[in-house]
Chain A
Amino acid sequence: MTHALPWLTLLIVIPLAGTLAVFLAKETQARLIALAATIVNLLVSLPLWWLFDASSTGMQFVEQAVWVSAPPIRYHLGLDGISLPLVLMTTALLPLCVLISWKAITTRVRSFMAMLLIMESAMIGVFAALDFVLFYVFWEAMLIPMYLLIGVWGGPNRLYAAIKFFLYTLAGSVLLLVAIIVLYFQGGHTFDILELSRGTYSHSLQMWLFLAFFAAFAVKVPMFPFHTWLPDAHVEAPTAGSVILASVLLKMGGYGFVRLSLPMLPDASKTFTPLMVALSIVAIIYGAYMALAQADLKKLIAYSSVSHMGFVTLGLFMFNQQGIEGAVMQMVNHGITTGALFLCVGAIYERTHSRMIADNVGLTKPMPRYATLLVIFALSSLGLPGTNSFVGEFLVLAGTFLWSKLATAAASLGVILAAAYILWMVQRVAFGVPSPQHLPKLKDLDQREMATLVPLVVLIFWIGLFPNPLLSRMHASVTTVIARVTPASTTVSATMSAQPHPVPASADPASLAPAGEPSQP
């Protein structure tokens, strides 16, 4: 399906145009221009939600042009039900990132805003690219702006964190480049992701390629034990940087697995399933335990990210409808909820200049609005039914249940631990006994900050109560992925439809188990 407007190119070009405008404008106008650019981009991206045809299994909003003639590299963009939510999440979060940086960033504002905008372009490019080289270009193009965001505007230990982030992710992705080139020669001299996803490769080749993909994606996710850059980067990055890192950058790892590893390397994916599941469960539990022990709010959220992203990789490697849809849901939800939590930490850091839990105790009295929002986001993070995270985690666990009851039980531990570390944090930060000297001075959230946080509350409850619009847009695309990994998926579907209904809060339960319907491809 082609549309008259080059939607995706617009989404990539608008932030770049904004970058240029920011550089040409005065320092004082940089914030406004960046805000305008990100909001325009959000407005441009919104129609995609309604224009998207949920029944189609193919790519939509496709754009194609020759980029390099030999070897054939194309400028090939398109969205399906997996990438659409991620693109919308990105465009929705970026205006909030600009807003939260309004007062927090005082030096080199122009460059800061420019980096945010370049990041937005590159991130949308990664989700929309359908040519492997194009994908890699966008993937790598994010490194430098992110490096600068952490290194220039970050905390005291920013230099170390920035270079660690950079080298980890670069080292991971160089192997991806070799894998891309090898695939080109083995997959019929093409870089087209869709064509490569239809090819068949020998099992031993798949194993090597899987490991190379894994190096790139596992670092980004980050999976245990490649997560060590994450706490450093999160803690040192400015708030907007943390939000981008947690909400969007981490999703690229998961997106890489579901868009590239699973369809291109189905046999290897199956072979590596036990390892992936084991690493995911370790990440879920280990991340949660580490979160329990943190005294620094940002570190706590960083480790909770490791735990939550474990659910993503767990769900992806279940190769069933619930698992993968749950994983994609979880990616979107984690983006919203963790982004919101980082925004909260940023807001309080502007006031107390400390991210330590001990310095931010008992905020309900001086900052009632803040405390209310914090509690909502915290409850969403621990997966309370009715909030968004519940849907994703529940689907992932339901999908895991089909594969192994033991794994499900182990992963569920993560949910319990999440309740522990989140509630403990809320208990202290919101309801603790405040230290008398500084709390009276604290001002509650102003309108700008409310404007930053309230949209996320809306999203949390909307997805939590009515996940179906989102899920229904994923069905066809996820079915395509599953059909690729398990060609004889009929038996799996039969067992799946026999399961009790996965999402009780869903408004339209019938569409939740589409794989069981014979009409699905």
Chain B
Amino acid sequence: MMFAPGDLLVILPELLVITAACLVLGLDPVTPPSRKDGLAWLSLGTLAICMGLTASQMSTPASAFGGIVIVDAYACFWKLLLYFVTGLTVLLSCSYLKEERLYFGEYYGFVLLALSGMMVMVSAADLLTIYLGTELMSLSLYVMAGLKRAEPRSLEASAKYFVLGAFSSGILLYGISLLYGATGSTRLPAIAAAIGGRGLDDPLLLFATILLAVGFGFKLAVVPFHMWTPDVYQGAPTSVTAFMAVASKAASFGAFLRVFVEGLGGLKANWTEIFLVLCVVTLILGNIVALVQTNIKRMLAYSSIAHAGYALIGVVAAGVAGGSTGARNGIAGVMLYLALYAFMTFGAFSIVAMLRKGGLEGEEIEDFTGLATRHPLAALLMLVFMVSLAGIPPTAGFIGKFYVFMAAVEAGLTWLAVLALVFAAISAYYYLRIVMVMYMREPGELTATSPRLVPSPALSIVLACAVAGVVLFGIYPNPIVNLATHAVLTLK
């Protein structure tokens, strides 16, 4: 492989993020505790620069290292989303870590390392590179999940996440190796070409496809590969949970779509059936189990499982659709869904993090009792996020659902849209339960005596961004819709 210096320019954002990560890790021991916030600012600065770079790369597709890395509009879309979410995570962590008394400068280093892994995932066009990105992301997340070292639950989350994550990575790798055996390459275009030449009923190919689906299924947390999600989401520090629920899911979807559409597009008929089944069981189980949760982080975990199910509708629609526009609409629907989901889920977790104050854990749904009297603004924001998660207009959640349902009906999957909407109505019940607890119950003894909630400036910025995204894109979705429909064009 020829190495061209220009290639480095293409992956400049990745290099910057990794450099910043190393810088944070290196500077941490020499930074006095009072100035640890500086590391957060360093991270934010890096993200801002990367955002500018990636935005400029959006219109000029480029590839590097002989096609291993592709920086096209599709990759840039995901990267912009990831920067945004990472930035919010850093801001959220500023105040949350202090509240939890976790003073680790490494934290920001790991956030950036995970981000660099995600960036590699979404712009790689080679299965092994994607695998490397996945591992970089996952390993950082394993550490972050266990940051509350004194708390058994956090350690359990970390260990569970690690074991199941390693297991799923193994399956993914096995799938990659089988695919290599069957097609002679790990490059997505080469795989696509090889599949085009072989019959569709090749058992080796099918087996490899199934293994890849399972491997990605773990990362996307779709049923039945979701088992780790509730425990990990509950045990991990809330800021990390928010990061995992949004960024890692988005990155996994980014890589997953590229692999299955670009690489395995020839096996569409086969994988569509798999994902159709996964989608239906995910919708059913995610929504039903969320109904009975008493811990809000577990509830949001099941809700995020259910939302992966809604996003999968777009994938299935893309697989079933006859024409290329139909397929594109499905994929664009998924991208849009994940982008809008980011705002509302991150916002909801931020409110959970905000409630963590003094002795109050803020993680049980009961802890939200009477929030409307204790802190009306926080309650109002949570109301907006819950309504959006339930998919009720005029919020972003409705727009996301609307587009995947459009794609489903266009592909002739009207029954799937009906099923998903029925479960959306069911999901309204558990989201509204939070609203009910906040607005319709008076504060109890424990919550009434809890300290006053005053969001820090950083947290205020996070909440403002999240609610602005939910409301503005709910009322005027045009910009983000256009971005997604434009970005999907570069996906072959």
User: Footprint of B on A, CB under 8 Å?
Assistant: 67-71, 108, 111, 133, 136-137, 140-141, 143-144, 147-148, 151-152, 158-159, 162-163, 166-167, 170-171, 174-175, 177-178, 181-182, 184-185
Residues from chain A with a CB closer than 8 A to the CB of B429 are 163, 167
Residues from chain B with a CB closer than 8 A to the CB of A141 are 392-394
Q: How far is the CA of A184 from the CA of B436 in the complex (A)?
A: 36
- Given A68-B477, A182-B409, is A171 in contact with B425 using a C-beta cutoff of 8 Å? yes
A68, B478: Cβ atoms under 8 Å? yes
Q: How far is the CA of A159 from the CA of B439 in the complex (A)?
A: 10
A178, B478: Cβ atoms under 8 Å? no
| Residue of A whose beta carbon sits closest to that of B403 | A71
- Scan B464-483; emit 1 where CB is below 8 A from any A CB, else 0: 00000000000011100110
Question: How many Å from the CB of A158 to the closest CB on chain B?
Answer: 7
Q: How far is the CA of A226 from the CA of B37 in the complex (A)?
A: 58
B387 at the interface (CB under 8 A from A): yes
B421 at the interface (CB under 8 A from A): yes
Q: How far is the CA of A185 from the CA of B326 in the complex (A)?
A: 12
Say whether chain A's binding surface is mostly helix, strand, loop, or mixed: helix
- Scan B392-416; emit 1 where CB is below 8 A from any A CB, else 0: 1110001000100110011000100
B491 at the interface (CB under 8 A from A): no
A158, B409: Cβ atoms under 8 Å? no
A166, B432: Cβ atoms under 8 Å? yes
Interface residues of B in 368-403 (CB under 8 A from A): 372, 376, 383, 387, 392-394, 398, 402
Q: How far is the CA of A141 from the CA of B477 in the complex (A)?
A: 16
Interface residues of B in 285-326 (CB under 8 A from A): none
Of B398, B422, B432, most A-chain CB atoms within 10 Å:
B432
Residues from chain B with a CB closer than 8 A to the CB of A71 are 406
A174, B392: Cβ atoms under 8 Å? no
- Given A67-B478, A140-B393, A152-B439, is A147 in contact with B432 using a C-beta cutoff of 8 Å? yes
A167, B425: Cβ atoms under 8 Å? yes
Q: How far is the CA of A322 from the CA of B387 in the complex (A)?
A: 42
Q: How far is the CA of A133 from the CA of B475 in the complex (A)?
A: 12
Choose one: A69, A152, A163, A177; the contact of B478 (CB below 8 Å). A69
| Residue of A whose beta carbon sits closest to that of B441 | A159
A178, B485: Cβ atoms under 8 Å? no
B406, A182: Cβ atoms under 8 Å? no
Residues from chain B with a CB closer than 8 A to the CB of A178 are 405, 409, 414, 417-418, 421
Q: How far is the CA of A220 from the CA of B387 in the complex (A)?
A: 20
| Residue of A whose beta carbon sits closest to that of B384 | A144
Q: How far is the CA of A171 from the CA of B394 in the complex (A)?
A: 17
- Given A70-B485, A143-B392, is A182 in contact with B432 using a C-beta cutoff of 8 Å? no
| Residue of B whose beta carbon sits closest to that of A114 | B380
Q: How far is the CA of A166 from the CA of B428 in the complex (A)?
A: 9
Residues from chain B with a CB closer than 8 A to the CB of A133 are 402
B424 at the interface (CB under 8 A from A): yes
Q: How far is the CA of A74 from the CA of B365 in the complex (A)?
A: 40
Residues from chain A with a CB closer than 8 A to the CB of B274 are none
Residues from chain A with a CB closer than 8 A to the CB of B409 are 178, 181-182, 184-185
Category for how many chain B residues contact A: 20 to 34
B421, A152: Cβ atoms under 8 Å? no
A144, B410: Cβ atoms under 8 Å? no
Residue pairs across A and B with Cβ atoms less than 8 A apart, 8 shown, are A68-B481, A71-B406, A137-B393, A141-B394, A147-B435, A148-B435, A152-B372, A167-B428
Choose one: B372, B392, B405, B485; the contact of A140 (CB below 8 Å). B392
B425, A136: Cβ atoms under 8 Å? no
Residues from chain B with a CB closer than 8 A to the CB of A181 are 402, 405-406, 409, 417
- Given A140-B392, A141-B393, is A159 in contact with B410 using a C-beta cutoff of 8 Å? no
B277 at the interface (CB under 8 A from A): no
Interface residues of B in 424-456 (CB under 8 A from A): 424-425, 428-429, 432, 435-436, 439-440
Question: How many Å from the CB of A110 to the closest CB on chain B?
Answer: 9
Question: How many Å from the CB of B433 to the closest CB on chain A?
Answer: 8
Question: How many Å from the CB of A70 to the closest CB on chain B?
Answer: 6
B421, A158: Cβ atoms under 8 Å? no
A177, B405: Cβ atoms under 8 Å? yes
| Residue of B whose beta carbon sits closest to that of A169 | B425
Q: How far is the CA of A394 from the CA of B482 in the complex (A)?
A: 53
- Given A69-B478, A151-B440, A178-B414, is A137 in contact with B398 using a C-beta cutoff of 8 Å? yes
Residues from chain A with a CB closer than 8 A to the CB of B436 are 151, 159, 162-163
Q: How far is the CA of A159 from the CA of B421 in the complex (A)?
A: 24
B417, A151: Cβ atoms under 8 Å? no
B414, A136: Cβ atoms under 8 Å? no
B440, A159: Cβ atoms under 8 Å? yes
Choose one: A70, A151, A174, A185; the contact of B424 (CB below 8 Å). A174
Q: How far is the CA of A274 from the CA of B182 in the complex (A)?
A: 63
A163, B432: Cβ atoms under 8 Å? yes
B398, A140: Cβ atoms under 8 Å? yes
Q: Give me 10 other A-B pairs in contact (C-beta within 8 A), A70-B485, A108-B372, A181-B405 excluded.
A: A67-B478, A70-B482, A140-B392, A141-B394, A144-B392, A147-B432, A151-B436, A163-B436, A174-B424, A184-B406
Q: How far is the CA of A170 from the CA of B398 in the complex (A)?
A: 13
Question: How many Å from the CB of A224 to the closest CB on chain B?
Answer: 22
Going nearest first, the 9 A-B pairs with the smallest beta carbon separation are: A174-B421, A137-B393, A181-B409, A171-B425, A151-B440, A140-B393, A170-B425, A174-B425, A178-B417
Question: How many Å from the CB of A140 to the closest CB on chain B?
Answer: 5
Question: How many Å from the CB of A69 to the closest CB on chain B?
Answer: 6
B482, A69: Cβ atoms under 8 Å? yes
Residues from chain A with a CB closer than 8 A to the CB of B477 are 68
Residues from chain A with a CB closer than 8 A to the CB of B476 are 67
Q: How far is the CA of A361 from the CA of B477 in the complex (A)?
A: 56
Q: How far is the CA of A148 from the CA of B485 in the complex (A)?
A: 37
A170, B428: Cβ atoms under 8 Å? yes
Q: How far is the CA of A140 from the CA of B405 in the complex (A)?
A: 17
Q: How far is the CA of A477 from the CA of B393 in the complex (A)?
A: 30
Q: How far is the CA of A68 from the CA of B436 in the complex (A)?
A: 33
Residues from chain B with a CB closer than 8 A to the CB of A167 are 425, 428-429
| Residue of A whose beta carbon sits closest to that of B332 | A70
| Residue of A whose beta carbon sits closest to that of B401 | A177
Residues from chain A with a CB closer than 8 A to the CB of B410 are 185
Residues from chain B with a CB closer than 8 A to the CB of A159 are 436, 440
Residues from chain A with a CB closer than 8 A to the CB of B432 are 147, 163, 166
| Residue of A whose beta carbon sits closest to that of B477 | A68
Residues from chain A with a CB closer than 8 A to the CB of B428 are 166-167, 170
A151, B439: Cβ atoms under 8 Å? yes
| Residue of A whose beta carbon sits closest to that of B428 | A170
Residues from chain A with a CB closer than 8 A to the CB of B387 are 144
| Residue of A whose beta carbon sits closest to that of B482 | A69
Question: How many Å from the CB of B294 to the closest CB on chain A?
Answer: 17
Question: How many Å from the CB of B484 to the closest CB on chain A?
Answer: 10
A152, B440: Cβ atoms under 8 Å? yes
A182, B414: Cβ atoms under 8 Å? yes
Q: How far is the CA of A274 from the CA of B406 in the complex (A)?
A: 33
Choose one: B421, B435, B482; the contact of A177 (CB below 8 Å). B421
Question: How many Å from the CB of B387 to the closest CB on chain A?
Answer: 6
B393, A136: Cβ atoms under 8 Å? yes
Question: How many Å from the CB of A216 to the closest CB on chain B?
Answer: 12
B439, A148: Cβ atoms under 8 Å? yes
Q: How far is the CA of A184 from the CA of B410 in the complex (A)?
A: 9
| Residue of B whose beta carbon sits closest to that of A189 | B410
Question: How many Å from the CB of A4 to the closest CB on chain B?
Answer: 25
B418, A175: Cβ atoms under 8 Å? yes
Question: How many Å from the CB of A312 to the closest CB on chain B?
Answer: 26
Q: How far is the CA of A68 from the CA of B440 in the complex (A)?
A: 36
Interface residues of B in 51-105 (CB under 8 A from A): none
Choose one: B383, B440, B481; the contact of A158 (CB below 8 Å). B440
Q: How far is the CA of A1 from the CA of B394 in the complex (A)?
A: 29
Residues from chain A with a CB closer than 8 A to the CB of B421 are 174-175, 177-178
Q: How far is the CA of A177 from the CA of B418 in the complex (A)?
A: 9
Q: How far is the CA of A136 from the CA of B401 in the complex (A)?
A: 13
Residues from chain A with a CB closer than 8 A to the CB of B372 are 108, 111, 152
Question: How many Å from the CB of B136 to the closest CB on chain A?
Answer: 36
A162, B406: Cβ atoms under 8 Å? no
Question: How many Å from the CB of A6 to the closest CB on chain B?
Answer: 17
